[in-house]
Amino acid sequence: MGRKAKEIGITAEQLNELLIMSRSQKLERRYVERATVILLSHKGKTLDAIIAETGLSRRSVNKWRNRFRLKGIEGLKDASRPGQKPVITAEQKALVVQRACEKPKGGYTNWSQQRIAKEVGISQSKVYQILKAAEMKPHKLEYWCGKSPDPEFEQKMVNIVGLYMKPPENAIVLCVDEKTQIQALDRTQPQLPLRTGNPKRHTSTYKRHGTVALIASLAVHTGEITAKTIKSNNAINFLSFLKKLDRTYRHKTLHIIVDNLSIHKDQSIKLWLKNKRKIKIHYTPTYSSWLNQIEIWFNILSRDVLKGGVWQSTQQLASQLIEYIKTYNKTRAKPFEWTYTGNPLTI
């Protein structure tokens, strides 16, 4: 009969944690074995029985029993091994930052941490640490609004912002633009629905059913959207939409903000406007269509409708766009509010 192992004191909390460790499917096998050794000892098993059940050597069984007596659950973890830490020189740190700021050679556009590490001769993890300390992300790209070359930028900008902040009496301010090339994409297999632990899933393969364009107007001080789908973006459709706005806001003075797209300045538009004294067109400065508030609403539309959408035809897509606009006007339409409170960007 084998020699009975010395008893090990275990608290209720430790016992619960050991049971969880011994049954875990995610822990590494060595930790499961160590927890099993302590549990078997707690049950009063002999050393020979523990060795037979776990497959560990007598030396290992005694080692983890003794480590548990001294340090509890922490004693079952691997002890840290002393060793000299690799030294990263100041020159290497500077070179990592320099490389991240330079355009890479060999046809690459962007740096990866792996290629920077290879160039400098250090590990990728060290490159990550250096860049993190320097708050640099060479893989990330953001857009910002550059300075407009329009010589009348300030005058046009002040005019448009003035219409937003203090419109003329008995006038309506409308922001108009087109969203083109909206693709009616279908998937080759049915969508897998949302489940606990899994998001909605699409196949990576798709069918194209054509595109739809949308021309829309945002009433700045009510948030109401007027829109129609069009097959192509041209001066004829733009003029038709202006006439629609004229009928919708009959007997009202309209200040319409648009960008510098050529169709917005077509001769047919100018001729029609000559007889419409109550309709005034305001053009955003060059490269400054971000001043047009309809762009904010287009972003909302993309997030609510277009992202992840599946359509079997352009007609289905067009119908959903119009349905969404009706719902938006009934339930969510309201003016956008200024929220920026910081200092203006200086260029």
pLDDT of res. 75: 84
- Whole-number Å distance between alpha carbons of 167 and 327: 27
> Between 346 and 277, where is the model more confident?
277
Tell me, what amino acid is at 102?
E
Instruction: Judge whether 345 lies within some domain.
Output: no
Q: Quick one: 169 and 107 in the same domain?
A: no
User: Is residue 1 predicted with pLDDT exceeding 60?
Assistant: no
Tens digit of each residue's pLDDT (9 = 90 or more) over 188-206: 888 888 888 888 888 888 8
Beta strand 206-219 with 171-187 is: antiparallel
Name which of 291, 287, 266, 178 is nearest 230 in CA terms: 178
Give residue 261's pLDDT band: very low, low, confident or very high (50, 70, 90). very high
Q: For the CA atoms of 183, 184, 189, 195, what is the dihedral angle to 10 degrees?
A: 80
Instruction: Judge whether 147 lies within some domain.
Output: no
Write the DSSP symbol of residue 304.
I
- Whole-number Å distance between alpha carbons of 6 and 301: 71
User: In the predicted model, what is the mean pLDDT of residues 256-260?
Assistant: 96
- Whole-number Å distance between alpha carbons of 77 and 72: 10
Tens digit of each residue's pLDDT (9 = 90 or more) over 27-65: 888 888 988 888 888 888 888 888 888 888 989 888 988
Instruction: Judge whether 146 lies within some domain.
Output: no
H or E stretch covering 127: helix 124-133
How many domains, the chain?
A: 3
Instruction: Judge whether 337 lies within some domain.
Output: no
Bridge partner list, 192 = 201
Q: Reduced to 3 states, what is the DSSP secondary structure of residue 71? A: helix
Name which of 327, 288, 296, 330 is nearest 220 in CA terms: 296
Q: Quick one: 177 and 54 in the same domain?
A: no
Q: Quick one: 96 and 225 in the same domain?
A: no
Instruction: Judge whether 85 lies within some domain.
Output: no
Q: Give yes or no for a contact between 172 and 249, defined as CB atoms under 8 angstroms apart.
A: yes
Q: Give yes or no for a contact between 178 and 214, defined as CB atoms under 8 angstroms apart.
A: yes
Q: Quick one: 118 and 163 in the same domain?
A: no
Instruction: Judge whether 344 lies within some domain.
Output: no
User: Among 76, 108, 125, where does a domain finish?
Assistant: 76
Q: Quick one: 188 and 305 in the same domain?
A: yes
Q: Reduced to 3 states, what is the DSSP secondary structure of residue 219? A: strand
pLDDT of res. 345: 58
**Residue 305 maps to which CATH number?**
3.30.420.10
Instruction: Judge whether 336 lies within some domain.
Output: no
Q: Quick one: 236 and 309 in the same domain?
A: yes
Tens digit of each residue's pLDDT (9 = 90 or more) over 289-332: 999 999 999 999 999 999 989 999 999 999 999 999 999 999 99
Q: Quick one: 227 and 292 in the same domain?
A: yes
> Between 191 and 82, where is the model more confident?
191
Q: Quick one: 299 and 231 in the same domain?
A: yes
Q: Quick one: 173 and 298 in the same domain?
A: yes
Q: Listing from the earlier edge strand, what are the strands of the sheet with 253-258? A: 225-230, 206-219, 171-187, 253-258, 279-283
- Whole-number Å distance between alpha carbons of 77 and 234: 70
Q: Which two tokens stand for residue 345?
A: 């960007």
Cβ of 251: how many Cβ atoms within 10 Å? 7
Q: Quick one: 185 and 236 in the same domain?
A: yes
pLDDT of res. 90: 87
Q: Quick one: 31 and 94 in the same domain?
A: no
Instruction: Judge whether 255 lies within some domain.
Output: yes
Name which of 41, 46, 52 is nearest 3 in CA terms: 46
Q: What residue numbers bound the domain in which 47 lies?
A: 12-76
Percent of the chain with pLDDT over 70: 94
Q: Quick one: 223 and 320 in the same domain?
A: yes
| pTM, 2 dp | 0.66
Q: At 344, give phi and psi (nearest 5°).
A: -70, 150
